[in-house]
C-alpha cells in the first residue's frame, strides 16, 4: 500500500514532546530540636548548625508552611570565599515543590563579618518581589558571621 502525499507531510510535521514529572527527593535527614520557627534566633540557630563553619559562602533556603513549620531545607548555592550566585528562580523552584507558604533565606560570610553588602540587599528585594508574585512570603534574609553574630535584613528594615 502506498502512502499519499498528505500522510507523508503529516508524519514529517509531527514533533515529539517530553512528558515530565516533577518531584522532590529527600536527600537526607537533618536532626534538629524544633520544627517550628518562632523567631529570627530559631532560624539563626538552625542555619548555623546546618552550615557549620564553611570556608565558602553557602546560600540556604528554609521552606515553611502556614504555621511556620519547616517543610524543607535546601542548599541553593555554594559559592566562593566572598560570593554565591543566586537567582529567585533557583530559590522558588524548591519552595514551590515544598508547598511553601513562606521562606527564610540565609548565607554565611566566611570572613566572619555579618554586615550586609549592597548585593545582599538587592537579591533580598528581588526574592521578595518574586515571592509576592508567587504568593510565597520572604520572612527574612539572615547573614551569619562568627561568634554568634548575625544580621537580619528584616530587622534592619530592608524586607
Structural domains for the chain: 25-152 (3.40.140.10)
Average pLDDT over residues 120-124: 94
Average pLDDT over residues 123-149: 95
Percent of all residues in the chain with a pLDDT value above 70, rounded to a whole number: 92
E-strand stretches of 31-135: 58-64, 70-78, 102-108
pLDDT category at 83 given cuts 50, 70, 90 is confident
Give the three cell numbers for residue 106.
540565609
The label of the residue with cell 561568634 reads: 147
pTM of this structure:
0.83
Higher pLDDT, 11 or 39: 39
Higher pLDDT, 105 or 3: 105
Higher pLDDT, 119 or 17: 119
Higher pLDDT, 84 or 87: 87
**Which has the closest alpha carbon to 119: 70, 77, 72?**
77
Q: How much is the mean pLDDT over the chain?
A: 88
**Which has the closest alpha carbon to 112: 71, 51, 55, 158?**
55
Q: Is the pLDDT of residue 73 over 90?
A: yes
Rounded distance between C-alpha atoms, residue 159 and residue 69, angstroms: 21
Q: Hey, how many other C-beta atoms are within 10 angstroms of the C-beta on 9? A: 11
Q: What is the pLDDT of residue 129?
A: 97
Contact 66, 59 (CB under 8 A): no
Higher pLDDT, 101 or 52: 101
Return all residues near 42 (Cβ < 8 A) that are at least 6 apart.
34, 36
Q: Hey, how many other C-beta atoms are within 10 angstroms of the C-beta on 117? A: 12
pLDDT category at 10 given cuts 50, 70, 90 is low
For 157: left if phi > 0, alpha if psi spans -120 to 50, otherwise beta; the answer is left
Amino acid at each position: 500500500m502506498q502512502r499519499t502525499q498528505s500522510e507523508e507531510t503529516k508524519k514529517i510535521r509531527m514533533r515529539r514532546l517530553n512528558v515530565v514529572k516533577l518531584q522532590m527527593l529527600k536527600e537526607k535527614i537533618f536532626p534538629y530540636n524544633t520544627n517550628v520557627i518562632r523567631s529570627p534566633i530559631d532560624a539563626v540557630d538552625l542555619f548555623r548548625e546546618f552550615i557549620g563553619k564553611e570556608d565558602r559562602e553557602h546560600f540556604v533556603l528554609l521552606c515553611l508552611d502556614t504555621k511556620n513549620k519547616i517543610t524543607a531545607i535546601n542548599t541553593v548555592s555554594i559559592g566562593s570565599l566572598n560570593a554565591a550566585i543566586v537567582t529567585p528562580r533557583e530559590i522558588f523552584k524548591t519552595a514551590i515543590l515544598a508547598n511553601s507558604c513562606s521562606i527564610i533565606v540565609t548565607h554565611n560570610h566566611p570572613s566572619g563579618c555579618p554586615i550586609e553588602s549592597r548585593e545582599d540587599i538587592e537579591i533580598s528585594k528581588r526574592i521578595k518581589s518574586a515571592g509576592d508574585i508567587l504568593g510565597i512570603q520572604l520572612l527574612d534574609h539572615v547573614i551569619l558571621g562568627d561568634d554568634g553574630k548575625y544580621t537580619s535584613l528584616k530587622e534592619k528594615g530592608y524586607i
